Amino acid sequence: MEFSAKKIAEYLNGSVEGNKNTKVSNVSSINDATPGSLTFLANPAYAQFLYTTKASIVLINKDFKIEKPVNCTLIRVDDAYNSLAKILELYNKYLPEKKGVSKLAYISKSAKIGKNTYIGEFAYVGENTIIGDNVKIHPQSYIDYNVKIGDNTKIYPGTKIFDRSVIGKDCIIHAGAVIGSDGFGFAREADKNFKKIAQIGNVVIEDNVEIGANTTIDRATFGSTIIKKGTKLDNLIMIAHNVVIDKNTVIAAQSGISGSSKVGKNCMIGGQVGISGHLNIEDNVKIAAQAGIGSNIKKDKTIMGSPAIDASNYKKSYVHFKNFQRIINKIEELESEINTLKKKKKK
């Protein structure tokens, strides 16, 4: 599928600088683009590539100043990065979609399947499960009994969704994710053995949530583990039982949230962050990668480190962390001089 600069500009409410009839059929990064491709410039660190890129069309911000001649057609937009997201979404709509229910899929007779649903080979849909319209369940997915999946949701290969889980509309669950497995709950007995606590709750995922590949979300001990509307979880994330993540929060890969912790709205959590159990992370908090969270965090804070502290304090402290050996050497040197002076004074 080809798109002209004119059509792209109209779609993005942008303006064309150059040949309006220039056409593209794919999207590339600006530094390794080829003729016939569309790219974008949003980060000033890549500005140098605008003058050497082989892309046919480049999306740039309206306020970007051209310093040298360019060989491509430019489309000026309010936000180049967001405009690229819109183009990729449009491009994705033109890709061929799988349809129909495979004869090799197992669907319980009591399950209810919506219109225009795709269910791939060796997928399993359990008893009394309800699948909405336009849902796509890819091969080897396991959907347990009494599950509800809303309209337009995509379930990628190998996903496991356990009993009574509720998945909203317009969600994306990537390959290998596990939704609703048992929470990590054990009671220590007098003989120091651990007795398993039955996990009788479920998982509720609201609308427009994306769950990354091999991410796991445990069912609640009782009640629900809840991922609220608009939240985005990266690959390889662990969400424990009875956790609640509020709206429009994003969490990067390899992070883990322990049981019964609450994360507020619009939070941004970096990769490999660990959050202890029974904590409250309030709205608009930003947590840097590899931070260790052991206490509650008030809203609008930016923190980093392990144990985590205010980011500005951490950066000041880090100046001393990296010079710690030099500081120790200086202290030892001063102690040696003091001891020498004391010996002289005794004489």
Q: With residue 178 as reference, give the H or E element that holds it.
A: strand 178-181
Q: With residue 343 as reference, give the H or E element that holds it.
A: helix 324-346
Please tell me the CATH superfamily of domain 3-93, with its number: MurE/MurF, N-terminal domain (3.40.1390.10)
CATH 3.40.1390.10 intervals, the chain? 3-93
Q: What whole-number percentage of the chain has pLDDT above 70?
A: 100
Give just the sign of the alpha carbon dihedral 10, 43, 267, 298.
negative
Residue 281: name the closest of 235, 245, 251, 256 by CA: 245
- Does residue 292 carry a pLDDT above 90? yes
From residue 289, alpha-carbon distances to 211, 258, 261, 344 in Å are 19, 17, 18, 53
More confidently predicted of 340 and 135: 135
Residue 347: band (very low, low, confident or very high) from pLDDT cuts 50, 70, 90: low
The residues that bridge with 250 in the sheet, in sequence order, are 232, 268
- Does residue 78 carry a pLDDT above 90? yes
Phi, psi (deg, nearest 5) at residue 50: -60, -30
d(CA 337, CA 347): 16
pTM: 0.86
The pLDDT value given to residue 318: 85
pLDDT tens digits, 188-230: 999 989 999 999 999 999 999 999 999 999 999 999 999 999 9
CATH 3.40.640.10 fits 100-311, yes or no: no
CATH 2.160.10.10 intervals, the chain? 100-311
pLDDT tens digits, 221-280: 999 999 999 999 999 999 999 999 999 999 999 999 999 999 999 999 999 999 999 999
Residue 296: name the closest of 307, 242, 219 by CA: 307
To the query of whether residue 241 is one of the catalytic residues in this protein, the response is: yes
State both tokens at 265.
């709205």
Please tell me whether the peptide bond between 157 and the residue prior to it is cis, using omega within 30 degrees of 0. no
Phi, psi (deg, nearest 5) at residue 289: -55, 145
